[in-house]
């Protein structure tokens, strides 16, 4: 009990420091949303250039198909993000996303260091799934921020993309199962 009340005290003190007023918190959250939207806009644009490289390096037809389909989807997601900016009364703006830049660089290195065929394909899938998981985490978070701020249109748009990223991840998992068996043989 004693340790509990102590940590509770600390928690309360920290909370009253961080959350001064409701308006401050909402402003902070809105800033976070806007900032991360710019990151995401950079990331999706970068992916429209990175995915074609993955397609050129892939050999398994199912993987080529899955990546090609997601390239089309990604191009639509760029446009959808522009709608999100618009719904928030903002102009689309990109800010370099260091995390996505790193994931894309890793994918490039992986493709250079493997032989073309099932092993490189397995590597491409692992890189692509890391990208999808990053996107799923980001879209999920931003949808929650938009919901909290009462930005329903933005939340709905972000949710459409979130579902597409989950679909892409599932499609890659399905291709991975068949490729990993082949790569191990
Ligand atoms: Fe995306
Ligand atoms: Fe994606």
Could you tell me the distance, in angstroms and rounded to a whole number, from the CA of residue 74 to the centre of ligand 1?
5
Predicted confidence (pLDDT) per residue in 112-128, tens digit: 999 999 999 999 999 99
Q: Is residue 141 within 8 Å of residue 119, measured between CB atoms?
A: no
Domain count, the chain: 1
> Does the structure show a pLDDT above 60 at 8?
no
Percent of the chain with pLDDT over 90: 81
Could you tell me the distance, in angstroms and rounded to a whole number, from the CA of residue 71 to the centre of ligand 1?
9
Mean pLDDT check: name the lowest of 83-87, 99-103, 140-144, 176-180. 176-180
- Domain hosting 70: range is 25-184
Question: pLDDT at position 20, please?
Answer: 55
Q: Which two tokens stand for residue 182?
A: 């082949």
Question: pLDDT at position 102, please?
Answer: 98
> Does the structure show a pLDDT above 50 at 60?
yes
Could you tell me the distance, in angstroms and rounded to a whole number, from the CA of residue 44 to the centre of ligand 1?
5
The secondary structure of 10-56 as a DSSP string is HHHHHHHHH---HHHHHHHHHHHHHHHHHHHHHHHHHHHHHHHHHHH
Ligand closest to 132 (CA) is: 2
Residue at 110 is within a domain = yes
Residue at 124 is within a domain = yes
Residue at 16 is within a domain = no
Residue at 10 is within a domain = no
More confident residue, 154 or 25: 154
Predicted confidence (pLDDT) per residue in 15-38, tens digit: 555 555 678 888 999 999 999 999
**Ion ligand 2, residues whose Cβ is below 5 A away:** 135, 165, 168
Could you tell me the distance, in angstroms and rounded to a whole number, from the CA of residue 70 to the centre of ligand 2?
7
Could you tell me the distance, in angstroms and rounded to a whole number, from the CA of residue 26 to the centre of ligand 1?
27
Residue at 38 is within a domain = yes
Predicted confidence (pLDDT) per residue in 63-86, tens digit: 999 999 999 999 999 999 999 999
Residue at 143 is within a domain = yes
Instruction: Count Cβ atoms within 10 A of the Cβ of residue 20 and give its class: 0-12 exposed, 13-18 middle, 19 or more buried.
Output: exposed
Q: Residues 138-157, buried b or exposed e (16+ Cβ, 10 A)? A: bbeebbebbeebebeebbeb
Could you tell me the distance, in angstroms and rounded to a whole number, from the CA of residue 138 to the centre of ligand 1?
10
Question: What CATH number has the domain bearing residue 163?
Answer: 1.20.1260.10
Question: pLDDT at position 1, please?
Answer: 41
Residue at 5 is within a domain = no
Q: Which two tokens stand for residue 82?
A: 């522009």
Residue at 9 is within a domain = no
Question: pLDDT at position 42, please?
Answer: 98
The DSSP code for 80 is H
């Amino acid at each position: 009990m004693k340790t509990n009340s102590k940590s509770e005290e600390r928690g309360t003190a920290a909370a009253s420091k961080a959350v001064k007023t409701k308006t401050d918190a909402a402003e902070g959250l809105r800033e976070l949303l806007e900032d991360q939207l710019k990151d995401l806009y950079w990331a999706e644009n970068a992916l429209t250039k990175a995915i074609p490289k993955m397609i050129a390096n892939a050999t398994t037809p199912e993987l080529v198909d899955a990546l090609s389909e997601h390239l089309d989807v990604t191009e639509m997601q760029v446009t959808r993000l522009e709608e999100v900016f618009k719904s928030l009364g903002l102009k689309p703006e990109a800010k370099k996303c260091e995390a996505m830049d790193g994931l894309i660089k890793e994918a490039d290195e992986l493709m250079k260091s493997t032989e073309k065929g099932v092993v490189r394909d397995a590597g491409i899938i692992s890189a692509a799934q890391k990208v999808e998981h990053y996107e799923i985490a980001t879209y999920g978070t931003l949808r929650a921020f938009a919901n909290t701020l009462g930005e329903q249109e933005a939340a709905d748009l972000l949710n459409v993309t979130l579902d597409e990223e989950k679909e892409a991840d599932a499609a890659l998992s399905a291709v991975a199962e068949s490729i990993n068996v082949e790569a191990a043989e």
